[in-house]
Amino acid sequence: MDGGTAGLAGDPGLMTPARPGGLIAFPITPSQDGIVDTDALSHLLEPLVAAGVDAVGLLGSTGSYPYFSRAQRRRAVAAAAECLAGRVKLMVGVGATATTAAVGMTQDALAAGAAFGLLAPVSYAPLTAREVVGLFEDVARVGLPLCVYDNPRNTQFAVTPEVLSHLARIDGVVAVKSPAPPQDQAAGALAALRGVVPAGFSVGFSVDWHAAAALRAGGDAWYSVLAGLYPRLCLELTTAASAADETALSALSKRLEPVWALFRAHGSYRVMHTLAARRGIPGAAPPRPVLPLAGEVAREVARVAETHLEG
């Protein structure tokens, strides 16, 4: 293991905290000039509650967490907690390049009433395994149950099963959000993760276009980008996958393939902001320097939304 890890992780705690599961919806964070639009955020969250998602994932990658100051992230968390009012669990992205900043974000989330923190090993200089374990140990001491956010494309660090075996035994680390592999690898990937974590540890998946197979294989949660705007459709897919309803899964997968194609071609981050703007959400443009999709690509997003998401 890179950097060495012997003796780094503590024993599992005696208490068993709640663990995330089911459909976790990740909305964008509407903003203008770096200021979070709390009214627009609440407008996005209410349909998620009404649809019955299991949790809201605030300030994930779709929610632009690296682009906001601690004050603005605190503003978003406070607004979300007030809007949700305990009706749906709140998971908050707490990743930051410095441990002190991640600890501060976690303290803010805990104080606001969040149920979970979503911690990615964010870095400028790529981190070693020892450094990542140390990060999780430090942040876990805050007392907010943590989900390991494995996002190697953006963080330059892959949470391998070996690394996860150490992280999962830190008191307060209760879940992992792992990129779902292609369909034919889903069962093997899930087994590899399950084999290194304690019983009851939540193993969930991102990458929307592979999530159905991961759920079908027995994954505990779908950390969904699309559910941030289209929760009912994603709940249909979640239910079909969990029930192994192959007929419904096939129909839904066929319906959503053009959406997944857009995600693969242009990135779910830009596509979701374009979809939110199309629906008239104020502050739906991504934070600069990221530019919104335009021209024929934006028109294609609108055509796909009209035909496959809203038809």
Residue 85 confidence (pLDDT): 97
Q: Encode 254-279: b = buried (16+ Cβ within 10 Å), e = exposed.
A: ebbebbbebbeebebbbbbbbbbbbe
SS3 117: strand
Q: From the candidates 65, 67, 124, 149, which is the catalytic residue?
A: 149
Residue 18 confidence (pLDDT): 85
Put simply, whether the predicted model's pTM sits higher than 0.75 gets the answer yes
- Active site (annotated) includes residue 89: no
Residue 2 confidence (pLDDT): 47
The model's pLDDT over 137-151, given as tens digits with 9 standing for 90+, comes to 999 999 999 999 999
Q: From the candidates 65, 177, 230, 269, which is the catalytic residue?
A: 177
Look at the block and give the residue holding tokens 């066929």: 254
Average pLDDT, consecutive stretches of 10 residues, N- to C-terminus, the chain (311 residues):
42 60 98 97 98 98 97 98 98 98 98 98 96 98 98 95 98 97 95 97 97 95 98 97 94 96 98 97 96 97 96 69
Residue 17 confidence (pLDDT): 64
Per the prediction, the chain carries an average pLDDT of 94
Q: Which CATH superfamily is domain 22-243 in?
A: Aldolase class I (3.20.20.70)
Give the contacts of 308 (CB within 8 A, at least 6 positions apart). 255, 256, 258, 259
Q: What are the residue boundaries of the structural domains of the chain, listed by start?
A: 22-243
And the tokens for 175?
Answer: 């879940």
62 is in an annotated binding site: yes
- Active site (annotated) includes residue 177: yes
Residue 11 confidence (pLDDT): 41
What's the rounded Cα separation, in Å, for the pair 116 and 93? 9
